[in-house]
């Protein structure tokens, strides 16, 4: 797990060393264990390393005998199997990131089809005069590109491209409208003009400082159905989960897991307990003294049932005010998801004991867990769009109603409706295209990497995806309950999880905490970036009425004000929310 960046200059120019230094420095938090650089011809690559596999020998860049070089961020979980399939190759390291370099040398741009893992990588091929950029099919690991008269630059985080002086931090209006209404931004355009995401599964070819080719590797199968009775499907599910979790535990450093007590993390706990000879180390967040559901009692019971070592991390109002500026600074590609808050503190605590965390992201998307899927499954004309309204609809707070905020999400919905897919599968594919990579996975990546922890997601494995997505709808949703097959499996594997009990949704009491601080309305309203969106009296009215209905709008404006201070205004992150907004 690392940070990577680089420049492919035009017209044979040599990349500026000072710019590469700034890129490296801006990515330093992603890789506190080492730094590397490759500079040849018109190409400069940089890498900051978080050592997970081959701690001493896996330094990057890695070069082959023909002068090709790779820098990579992520983990190739099947690296042992890949090495065994290349018996004539003499590997220079024990790193999981070396096999892709040799696969590229043999198979060209098709090399990513053999990779099982999460990755964002760059390969410089001097003989071909090109740099190849590639990102894993689910978009677990981030990668961003920018183009200018100087050529093409890339980095693991957009803030690195800004701090390197390659792109000005100008806010993209459509992406801002998406952030306000959806809590995340869609497609490949980021909130910064001039910076775009490499799409999940995309491979780009850069020659002479220009992108000349692009191709995509899909995360989900386009057709096919799993068949069999309940017993055979449960056996198959057990096999694919065991295989994926086993691979995701490959590491030369200590690892643990995040345990919420929900279906996905409970399934992960059960499988990890089966596979590990020592007690699993599980971390759970709780919200003492608030009106929201606290999951610690249930998580504690689950940990006791499998003999896990359980660490409980309290997140209170004081944490909200003190940590939120750091969270906003970490979320340079912003997602106004309040789950960033406990995730950030969990990662900070976990780093005391481990460098790798396994988590349950992807279970809802692949096994059909969201309530919105049931609306999407209804036959026409009763089918419901998954995201019909935005956060600020009907509140009359913004100066101008957001426009076009649903366009790119709607385009993803249309693209997901492939022939042969059910309505449920189309809804799942829509979430896998936008919500998953541009909210949930960005949240996990930034909050963990800012604290020097690698996050792994065993549900987002190609073999799990091939099985789960192809399940008949009745094994995903039944009796108005999602994740039916996964619940059946968990009921046998870990009965203490009570998987068929009514689920209580995860939430963070941000509205409760915001409502308790009336002085916050004035501070938020007077921020220039907020004044550009809404008249001060309307912002104050909104915060005065902060409740369950309006609380998320208040939270979104607060988050955006802090995000703008950090990433557009360039303010130093010092002090709590009130000090940041008063500066």
Dump the DSSP string for 135-197: E-TT--S--EEEEETTEEEEESSHHHHHHTTSS--PBPHHHHHHHHHHSS--SSB-SBTT-EE
Q: What is the pLDDT of residues 225-257, one digit of tens each?
A: 788 899 999 999 999 999 999 999 999 999 999
The label of the residue with tokens 């009763």 reads 382
Span 553-582, mean pLDDT? 96
* Residues contacting 173, CB < 8 A, separation 6+: none
Q: What is the pLDDT of residues 443-482, one digit of tens each?
A: 999 999 999 999 999 999 999 999 999 999 999 999 899 9
Would residue 504 count as lying in a domain? no
In the predicted structure, residue 382 carries a pLDDT above the cut 70: no
- Can you tell me the distance from the alpha carbon of 147 to that of 210, in angstroms, rounded to the nearest whole number? 8
DSSP 391: T
Residues 318 and 252 both lie in one domain: yes
Q: What is the pLDDT of residues 527-565, one digit of tens each?
A: 999 999 999 999 999 999 999 889 999 999 999 999 999
Residue 382 tokens read as 């009763």
Residue 5 CB neighbours (<10 A): 31
Q: What is the predicted pLDDT for the residue at 559? A: 98
- Can you tell me the distance from the alpha carbon of 138 to that of 178, in angstroms, rounded to the nearest whole number? 21
Within 13 A of 451's CA, how many CA atoms are on the CB side? Answer: 28
Q: What is the pLDDT of residues 484-502, one digit of tens each?
A: 999 999 999 999 999 999 8
Would residue 309 count as lying in a domain? yes
Angle between helices 263-275 and 230-248 (to 10 degrees): 70
Residues 54 and 168 both lie in one domain: yes
- Answer whether 53's CB lies under 8 Å from 75's CB: yes
Residues 484 and 439 both lie in one domain: yes
Q: What is the predicted pLDDT for the residue at 384? A: 73
Residue 146, sorted as left (phi over 0), alpha (psi -120 to 50) or beta, turns out to be beta
Span 387-400, mean pLDDT? 92
Number of separate domains in the chain: 3
Q: What is the pLDDT of residues 112-157, one digit of tens each?
A: 999 999 999 999 999 999 999 999 999 999 999 999 999 999 999 9
Phi and psi, residue 132, nearest 5°: -110, 125
Would residue 518 count as lying in a domain? yes
- CATH classification of the domain holding 138: 3.60.20.10
Residue 467 tokens read as 């099985």
Among residues of the chain, what percentage have pLDDT more than 90? 90
Q: What is the predicted pLDDT for the residue at 219? A: 96
- Can you tell me the distance from the alpha carbon of 524 to that of 97, in angstroms, rounded to the nearest whole number? 45
Pairing type for strands 309-314 and 281-286 reads parallel
Q: What is the pLDDT of residues 49-81, one digit of tens each?
A: 999 998 888 999 999 999 999 999 999 999 999
Residues 312 and 255 both lie in one domain: yes
Residue 210 tokens read as 């220009």
pLDDT band at 583 (very low <50, low <70, confident <90, very high): confident
Q: What is the pLDDT of residues 193-230, one digit of tens each?
A: 999 999 999 999 999 999 999 999 999 998 767 888 99
Q: What is the pLDDT of residues 320-362, one digit of tens each?
A: 999 999 999 999 999 999 999 999 999 999 999 999 999 999 9
Would residue 557 count as lying in a domain? yes
Pick the more confident residue, 48 or 375: 48
In the predicted structure, residue 189 carries a pLDDT above the cut 80: yes
In the predicted structure, residue 379 carries a pLDDT above the cut 80: no
Closest CA to 387 of 434, 440, 421, 422: 434
Residues 149 and 277 both lie in one domain: no
Residue 32 tokens read as 């506190």
In the predicted structure, residue 391 carries a pLDDT above the cut 80: yes
Q: What is the predicted pLDDT for the residue at 505? A: 64
What SS3 state is found at 272? helix
Residues 470 and 515 both lie in one domain: no
Residue 23 tokens read as 């890129």
Residues 244 and 107 both lie in one domain: no
In the sheet that holds 210-216, the strands lie side by side as 62-63, 69-76, 117-125, 130-135, 202-207, 210-216
Closest CA to 253 of 8, 53, 90, 410: 53
- CATH classification of the domain holding 369: 3.40.50.620
Residues 268 and 246 both lie in one domain: yes
Residue 29, sorted as left (phi over 0), alpha (psi -120 to 50) or beta, turns out to be alpha
Residue 481 tokens read as 């309950």
Q: What is the pLDDT of residues 261-305, one digit of tens each?
A: 899 999 999 999 999 999 999 999 999 877 777 889 999 999 999
Residues 185 and 239 both lie in one domain: no
Would residue 221 count as lying in a domain? no
Span 504-517, mean pLDDT? 87
Residues 298 and 330 both lie in one domain: yes
Residue ending a domain, among 165, 182, 216, is 216
Q: What is the predicted pLDDT for the residue at 502? A: 82
In the predicted structure, residue 365 carries a pLDDT above the cut 70: yes
- Can you tell me the distance from the alpha carbon of 134 to that of 215, in angstroms, rounded to the nearest whole number? 10
pLDDT band at 507 (very low <50, low <70, confident <90, very high): confident
Residue ending a domain, among 216, 243, 270, is 216
> Can you give the residue range of the structural domain that contains 465?
230-497
Would residue 545 count as lying in a domain? yes
Q: What is the predicted pLDDT for the residue at 1? A: 64
* Residues contacting 293, CB < 8 A, separation 6+: 504, 505, 506, 507
Task: Please state the pTM of the whole predicted model.
Answer: 0.96
Closest CA to 463 of 202, 263, 140, 236: 236
H or E element that contains 222: none
Span 564-574, mean pLDDT? 95
Strand partners, 309: 281
Residues 298 and 444 both lie in one domain: yes
């Amino acid at each position: 797990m690392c940070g990577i960046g680089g420049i492919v200059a035009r017209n044979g120019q040599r990349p500026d060393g000072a710019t590469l230094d700034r890129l490296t420095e801006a990515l330093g938090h992603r890789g506190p264990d080492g730094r590397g650089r490759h500079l040849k011809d018109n190409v400069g690559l940089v890498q900051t390393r978080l050592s997970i596999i081959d701690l001493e020998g896996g330094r990057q860049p890695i070069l082959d005998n023909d002068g090709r070089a790779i820098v990579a961020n992520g983990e190739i979980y099947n690296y042992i199997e890949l090495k065994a399939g290349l018996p004539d190759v003499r590997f220079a390291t024990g790193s999981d990131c070396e096999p892709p370099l040799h696969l590229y040398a043999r198979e060209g741009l098709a090399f990513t089809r053999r990779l099982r893992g999460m990755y964002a990588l760059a390969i410089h091929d001097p003989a071909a005069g090109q740099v190849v950029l590639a990102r894993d099919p689910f978009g677990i690991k981030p990668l961003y590109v920018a183009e200018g008269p100087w050529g093409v630059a890339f980095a693991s985080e957009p803030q690195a491209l800004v701090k390197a002086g390659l792109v000005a931090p100008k806010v993209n209006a459509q992406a801002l409208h998406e952030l306000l209404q959806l809590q995340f931004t869609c497609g490949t355009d980021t909130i910064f003009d001039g910076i775009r995401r490499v799409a999940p599964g995309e491979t780009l070819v850069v020659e002479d400082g220009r992108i000349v080719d692009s191709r995509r590797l899909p995360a989900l199968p386009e057709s096919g159905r799993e068949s069999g009775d309940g017993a055979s499907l449960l056996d198959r599910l057990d096999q694919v989960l065991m295989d994926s979790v086993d691979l995701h535990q490959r590491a030369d450093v200590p690892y643990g897991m995040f345990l919420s007590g929900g279906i996905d993390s409970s399934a992960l706990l059960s499988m990890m307990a089966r596979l590990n000879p020592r007690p699993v180390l599980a971390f759970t967040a709780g919200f003492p003294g608030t009106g929201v559901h606290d999951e610690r009692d249930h998580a504690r019971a689950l940990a006791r049932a499998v003999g896990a070592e359980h660490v409980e991390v309290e997140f209170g109002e004081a944490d909200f005010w003190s940590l939120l500026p750091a969270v906003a600074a970490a979320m340079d590609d912003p997602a106004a998801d309040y789950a960033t808050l406990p995730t950030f503190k969990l990662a900070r605590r976990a780093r005391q004991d481990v460098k790798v965390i396994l988590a349950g992201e992807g279970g809802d998307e692949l096994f059909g867990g969201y309530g919105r899927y049931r609306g999407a499954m209804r036959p026409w004309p009763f089918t419901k769009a998954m995201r019909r309204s935005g956060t600020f609809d009907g509140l009359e707070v913004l100066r101008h109603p957001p426009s076009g905020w649903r366009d790119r999400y709607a385009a993803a919905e249309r693209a997901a409706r492939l022939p042969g897919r059910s309505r449920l599968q189309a809804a799942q594919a829509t979430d896998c295209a936008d919500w998953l990579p541009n909210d949930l996975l960005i949240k996990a990546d930034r909050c963990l990497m800012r604290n020097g922890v690698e996050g792994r997601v065993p549900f987002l494995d190609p073999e799990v995806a091939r099985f789960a997505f192809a399940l008949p709808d009745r094994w995903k949703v039944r009796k108005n309950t999602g994740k039916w097959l996964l619940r059946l499996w968990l009921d046998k594997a870990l009965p203490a999880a009570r998987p068929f009990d009514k689920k209580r949704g995860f939430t963070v009491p941000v509205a409760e905490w915001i409502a308790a601080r009336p002085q916050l309305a004035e501070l938020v309203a007077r921020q220039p970036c907020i004044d550009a969106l809404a008249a001060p009296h309307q912002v104050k009215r909104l915060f005065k009425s902060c409740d369950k209905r309006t609380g998320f709008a208040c939270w979104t404006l607060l988050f955006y004000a802090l995000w703008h201070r950090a990433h557009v205004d360039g303010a130093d992150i010092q002090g709590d929310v009130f000090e940041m907004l008063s500066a």
